[in-house]
Structure 1
């Protein structure tokens, strides 16, 4: 118990690193022909993510992401998300990471901000609930508008064309920035940025309290051992 109190961040980081890393092993296993292992990871993470292929990264293919039209052409012409999520890739396009770009950003953010917390822990005060709310608000807005947009049909909603943004910015950016979910598009950037903000907020809010709780527990254990005349 004392060891855990002193090394809790190492334990949490190792567990989180495993959790964050497994989705990236799925495409590697598929590439190596270990399809049972790859499909098992896809199945496990399908309970935590929509796994829509047009909003996911691909490895071992020609591009890191593919449009809905490209996926439909390579697989099935459907806008049913329950069917689309079943596409994991092929030898030409590469293989899908087992969760979406936003999930990658959220949990990778948790992992790396957790590592960054360690050297800053003595100077960093816990984030207030209002501060946490402000950091997750962009994800709530972005995710909420995606959800509403998808009610019109995958690939058919206002967040697919982002015509409102093109009008607002007077089309200052290329058309590929506004439409679709490809890497580098507005939608892609928003999912990555808002996911990272969530990771930052979660670590900043929770980790100082966890550190304080484990430090108190460690001191109590030390006091008990000192009173008993024992060494740790």
Structure 2
């Protein structure tokens, strides 16, 4: 027997004629009717739209007004489709039918996630950007073991160059290279020695009690994920009403500045330049600004699309939940 979903809004939709037509065809086209009140599911109501009622049977739909002949064609097509799959022994079809008649633990988890995904996202980003700050805290407290674990975890994810990282518990929050020309701050060469101002030593140098201890994520990464977190919190508090950022704005404001700032300083790390070549080194402020812009605009570009996808998923599971509840009542 096939199942027919009948969508309507209680108090607004007259189902008398539709129910009569379905009853008239019960003998020639056996079916079970699952009535779904769209008033209980605004997302589904907006998707289905009006006029109502709407009949759905597998991939086939009918929107009011329709005739009994239209309904007969729909039921015939759905019946033939089911008979075909049963005759050909399509186990996948039977499994899908069985899954459609029960609510699994995964369904409930996905439903919960579709409602609270921003809480999950923000918590993950907060932990990701916050954990690196515990490394210098542990170093300062003398707990070298946990600090090394954190540095090791983030090592494949970030270059961790000391002259491009923030420091805690020291005289300065950062120690840029001399060629960055940051006035009023001691340079990295001054605190570690010019002979050690290279990638390997810069990556291995964690710090000491005088200069402080470096955060396990570089300045730019801290800014990027802080941007994700800032927008994520604002987006969640606004009840996810923001539309996606236009892709052109994302590229112009988010991607191009960070791309120029990052790529333009690569030659200084790749080789020892001759005296006549001008090698650029970004500043902590510029890395933070471009990273923050990239994080905020990327989250603004992506999160609304994720929210849309989650809304569709939530609608499907709520629809399935209503369907199973109707079957339980009928049983």
Bucket of the pairwise TM-score, normalised by the shorter protein: 0.7 to 0.9
Give the structure with higher Rg (CA).
2
Q: Which of 59, 69, 84 is 2:202 aligned to? A: 84
Q: Which of 297, 300, 304 is 1:204 aligned to? A: 300
Q: Does the CA contact (< 8 Å) of 1:127 and 1:204 recur in 2?
A: yes
Shift >6 Å, 4+ stretches: none
Judged with a 3 Å threshold, the aligned counterparts in structure 2 of structure 1 residues 192 and 220 are, in CA distance, closer, same or farther, namely same
Structure 1 segment 147-226 matched on structure 2, within 5 A? 147-151=266-270, 153=272, 157-160=278-281, 187-226=283-322
Structure 1 segment 101-140 matched on structure 2, within 5 A? 101-120=219-238, 122-134=240-252, 135-140=254-259
Instruction: Write 1 or 2 for the structure with the bigger share of strand.
Output: 2
Equivalent in the alignment of 1:47 = 156
Q: Does the CA contact (< 8 Å) of 1:126 and 1:208 recur in 2?
A: yes
Equivalent in the alignment of 2:147 = 38
Q: Does the CA contact (< 8 Å) of 2:174 and 2:284 recur in 1?
A: no
Equivalent in the alignment of 1:65 = 174
2: CA distance, partners of 1:109 / 1:153: 34
Q: Does the CA contact (< 8 Å) of 1:49 and 1:99 recur in 2?
A: yes
1: CA distance, partners of 2:239 / 2:304: 7
Judged with a 3 Å threshold, the aligned counterparts in structure 2 of structure 1 residues 122 and 115 are, in CA distance, closer, same or farther, namely closer
Equivalent in the alignment of 1:176 = none
2: CA distance, partners of 1:152 / 1:121: 50
Task: Compute the RMSD of aligned alpha carbons.
Answer: 2.2
1: CA distance, partners of 2:240 / 2:177: 47
Task: Report the more deviating stretch, 144-153 or 2-11.
Answer: 144-153
Residue 152 of structure 1: CA displacement? 5.2
Q: Flag the structure with more relative contact order, 1 or 2, with Cα contacts below 8 A and sequence separation at least 6.
A: 1
Equivalent in the alignment of 1:174 = none
Q: Does the CA contact (< 8 Å) of 1:101 and 1:191 recur in 2?
A: yes
Judged with a 3 Å threshold, the aligned counterparts in structure 2 of structure 1 residues 49 and 117 are, in CA distance, closer, same or farther, namely same
Instruction: Write 1 or 2 for the structure with the bigger share of helix.
Output: 1
Q: Which runs of 5+ in 2 are unaligned?
A: 1-109, 179-186
Judged with a 3 Å threshold, the aligned counterparts in structure 2 of structure 1 residues 200 and 152 are, in CA distance, closer, same or farther, namely same
Q: Does the CA contact (< 8 Å) of 2:240 and 2:307 recur in 1?
A: no
Residue 21 of structure 1: CA displacement? 0.6
Residue 73 of structure 1: CA displacement? 4.5
